[in-house]
Amino acid sequence: MPVYKDSEKIKQLSDFMCQLNKTDQKKAFVEKHRDLLDAISPIDLFYVEMYREKSAVGLEEIKATANKFVNVFYKGLKKHEMTRHKHAFIQNLIDENKAIIDHFDTMKSYFKGDSIAHHKAALKKGFEACLHLEKKFIKKENILFPKLESVVPSNRPLEVMWSLHDDARMQLKEILSLLSETPLNIDKLKPLLGTYYYLIYGIIQKEQLILLPVADQFLHDEAYDTMLEECFSYGYTFIEKSPPATQQSFQSYFKDNAFETRTGKLNFSQLDALLNTLPLDITFVDKNDTVRYFNDSKTRHFPRNPSVIGRLVQHCHPPKSVDTVKQIVEAFKSGEKHFAEFWITFKGVMLYITYHAVYNASNDYEGILEVSQDITRIKQLQGEQRLLNWK
């Protein structure tokens, strides 16, 4: 972790934040510390006591005071605000923010005064479009945050941002639910709309005043290039962007007992254990119709033993099924089809059986993956279980 040189400044900021929450004379207290506040930089907030990794202050309490502190620190942070950037990764995030604000501005007139009921359809359409904010949230959570976690002095501010995303998801879900009701519950809906707007504007402000400037302090073009390529698997919110021409596919390889791909690295022991722990029975048949692999699942439903390796797949099925097997193989090889599915009751359980055409990085046909899964319990699930329950 980086070591911050101005420890005295961090101590003063930490003391200020603690005392501001206690004083009744907030305005006077802020003005007394104006020089300190105007000299703040975004990275300072990753060092202050309240936002340290093992801070005694809870996540909900931090969120409750976050906007207040951003407002107090605004003049100092404004000097570092990220509104333009030379690299497309950062600039695309900024462009998304502008497009989100534009979208929100178009909806404001629909719930001024008593007009909500008259614009129900337009509001519903507008807030359904807000579901696309998920693309931005998930890019930050799954692409930007992992890069920052290894270089910033505390991940607490990232946890706060992620939690704010979750709050926005929950509030949008509630808004859409209320907009689907007849008649509309205006008394409940209207304040929620304001809360949601305030939350999204706050997220954008914190991103451009704090998150992106800090990212730019620690990350460089090589990291930006990698993250930019990864963004296109999720897409963008309210803007269209074309993938960079420099996109290159990662060449997977096996070296020194390790299997490394674009999505991770496993040693041989981990890879073998992982495949055998999958809650699925899998079998791979190569492009020459020869069985090359099956996992040693503890819950296998159809018999498999090592003697099947090297055998033609047509010889691994009863005569009545061979024609179906041939049909699938021929359709996959020709490219006419890429997927087939069946579901059957077998020995008291419901099995879902799928066949997938397998292609390599050059899009050449490599064979067929057969997957079998017991879905008996899955079919019986109802509602939701969001909390851990091992009983």
Q: Give kind and range of the element (H or E) at residue 15.
A: helix 7-20
Instruction: Return the ∠ at Cα 34 (arms to 32 and 40), rounded to 5°.
Output: 140
Place of tokens 């993250």: 227
* pLDDT value of position 1: 43
Q: Do residues 153 and 221 share a domain?
A: yes
Which of 51, 78, 105 finishes a domain? Answer: 78
Phi and psi dihedrals of 210, rounded to 5? -125, -60
Q: How far apart are CA 243 and CA 364, in angstroms?
A: 22
Long-range contacts of range 20-23, CB-CB < 8 Å, 24 or more positions apart? 20/68, 20/69, 20/72, 21/65
Predicted TM-score of the model (pTM): 0.78
Average pLDDT, the chain: 91
Residue of 299, 294, 298, 308 whose CA lies nearest to 369: 294
- Residue 244 within any structural domain of the chain: no
User: What number of helices (H) and strands (E) belong to the chain?
Assistant: 15, 8
Selected residue with higher pLDDT from 362 and 251: 362
Assess whether 116 and 184 both reside in one domain.
yes
DSSP string, 149-199: HTTSS-SHHHHHHHHHHHHHHHHHHHHHHHHTSSS--HHHHHHHHHHHHHH
Domain count, the chain: 4
Q: In this structure, is residue 343 part of a structural domain?
A: yes
The reply to whether 100 and 196 lie within a common domain is yes
Sequence-separated (6 or more) residues with CB below 8 Å from residue 249 = 262, 361
Residue 73 lies in a domain: yes
Looking at the fold, whether 338 and 253 belong to one and the same domain comes out as no
- Residues 203 and 94 reside in one and the same domain: yes
Q: Do 107 and 42 belong to one domain?
A: no
CATH number of the domain where residue 293 is located: 3.30.450.20
Q: Please tell me whether residues 96 and 206 are part of one structural domain.
A: yes
Residue 143 has pLDDT above 50, yes or no: yes
SS3 call for 343: strand
178, 188 Cβ separation under 8 angstroms: yes
What are 17-68's pLDDT values in tens digits? 999 988 889 899 999 999 999 999 999 999 999 999 888 899 999 999 999 9
* Whether residue 328 is found in the same domain as residue 315: yes
Q: What does the chain come to in residues?
A: 391
Q: Give 297-322 pLDDT, tens digit per residue.
A: 888 888 888 888 998 988 887 788 88
- What confidence tier does 353 reach under pLDDT thresholds 50, 70, 90? very high
Same domain, 57 and 121: no
Structural domain of residue 263, as residue ranges?
Answer: 249-278
Out of 127-141, 312-326, 353-367, least confident range: 312-326
pLDDT the model gives residue 307: 84
- Residue 5 pLDDT level (bands cut at 50, 70, 90): low
Confidence of residue 273 (pLDDT cuts 50, 70, 90): very high
Examine the domain organization and report whether 223 and 295 are in the same domain. Answer: no
Same domain, 222 and 128: yes
pLDDT attached to residue 347: 85
Supply the pLDDT for residue 250.
Answer: 65
**Residues 93 and 225 occupy one common structural domain:** yes
